[in-house]
Amino acid sequence: MARALNDGLRLALSGDERVLLMGEDVGRAGGVFRISDKLRGEFGEERVIDAPVAESGIVGVAFGMAVAGMRPIVELQFMGFSYPAYDQIISHVSRIRHRSRHRFTAPMVIRIPYGGGIGAAEHHSESMESIYLHIPGLKVVVPSTPVDAKGLLLAAVEDPDPVVFLEPIRSYRSITEVVPGDYYTTPIGEAAVRREGTDVTLISYGAMMRETLGAADVLEGRGISAEVIDLRSLVPLDVDTIVASVIKTGRVAVVHEAPRTGGFGGEIAAIVQEKAFFSLEMPVLRVTGWDSVFPLKRSERLYLPNVAGIAEEVQTRLFEG
């Protein structure tokens, strides 16, 4: 996935002179995850910019650039370090369209590596997408595959509104596939059905997709046919795909690594009961991270949902319950 994102950034920079990339260590070092590897050499330090260690400044300055007609892509190094920029995002980036009644917009992409599973130090594994989901005016996108990572990134750059683009750290190097070399976009707001099934709908996104698909395999072995939906875009949400699937299966589990309270699983559960209540055979199940601080390295496997656990919960809670 790292290479697909690198490729996407390169195409964005070469295709539109207004595009620039800014963030801590994105230039000389090519980003701490090497997502912008070699781009500074190719496009120069005016367009691939090593910023001072100042997240509020990075987003605030990029906002000014966006309003003035540029198309900035910013990288906040880890989700755990994105919070100093929150005020800029919630007070300005997301609402300039509203406050200026369409006269100004902030077409910018805020890339944020997120999530656990790589045994990182404190503050480096957080999955706090909910704090971005709650802000009107923002779009929130999370790819789970390299092909989507590139297509969604390019769609985000083209989008007239600000997009928070969440990159699952754990998938950067563990998820690989052949990615088309040309320029293409993956529409924001469309979920993907990754696997068809008839008995239960499993809904997830980001790094938890691999675990969820693995669980679907396990369930198949136990005679349960799972349909798996990759949301790809959390805001706007592809409600139709979810509802159509639930009407077919009657059972739903949402999987995310973010804490359960206030997490996206609750939102999906609400939508499902609003729109497909009479199709439901069982309450919507949430398999999620806990409502506690993300633990240190050696305990993170206690925190993150995994294949066996998801399969077990789905089977016992939705089929034996």
Ligand X SMILES: Cc1ncc(C[n+]2csc(CCOP(=O)(O)OP(=O)(O)O)c2C)c(N)n1
CA–CA distance, 240 with 197 (Å, rounded to integer): 17
- Candidates 92, 123, 124, 134; catalytic one: 124
Q: Would you tell me how many other CB atoms lie within 10 Å of the CB of residue 239? A: 16
Quickly list H helices, the chain: 2-15, 39-43, 55-67, 86-88, 96-99, 130-133, 146-158, 208-221, 239-249, 264-276, 300-303, 307-313
In sign, the C-alpha dihedral spanning 303, 201, 232, 270 is: negative
Which two tokens mark 278? Answer: 């009479």
In the numeric block, which tokens belong to residue 88? Answer: 């800029």
> In this chain, which stretch among 98-106, 138-146, 189-197, 303-311 interacts with another protein, using CB under 8 A?
303-311
Residue from 123, 180, 240, 274 in contact with another protein (CB under 8 A) = 123
CA dist., res. 20 & res. 15, Å (int): 11
Q: Binding to another protein (CB under 8 A): which residues in 136-165?
A: none
Q: How far is the CB of 245 from ligand X (least distance, A)?
A: 39
Map the footprint of ligand X across residues 65-84, applying CB under 6 A.
77, 81, 84
Between 34 and 195, name the residue whose CB sits nearer to another protein. 34
Q: Give the list of residues 6+ apart from residue 211 with CB closer than 8 angstroms, or none.
A: 204, 255, 304, 305, 306, 307, 310
Query: Which amino acid type is present at position 106?
Result: A
> Considering only residues 33-62, where is the footprint of ligand X by CB under 6 A?
53, 55
Closer CB to ligand X, 84 or 295, in the complex: 84
98 given a catalytic annotation: no
Kindly write out the interface string for residues 229-268 of this chain, putting x where it contacts another protein by CB under 8 A and - elsewhere: -------------------------------xx-------
**At its nearest, how many Å lie between ligand X and the CB of residue 100?**
30
Cβ-based nearer residue to ligand X, 33 or 264 = 33
Q: Residue 282 in contact with residue 201, Cβ under 8 Å?
A: no
43 makes contact with another protein (CB under 8 A): no
**Dist. CA 106–CA 112, nearest whole Å:** 17
Which residues carry out catalysis? 124
- Enumerate binding residues for ligand X (CB under 6 A): 24, 53, 55, 77, 81, 84
Binding site for another protein (CB under 8 A): 24-25, 27-30, 32-34, 50-57, 77-78, 80-81, 83-84, 117-124, 169-170, 172-174, 176, 210, 260-261, 287, 290-293, 295-306, 308-310, 312-313, 316
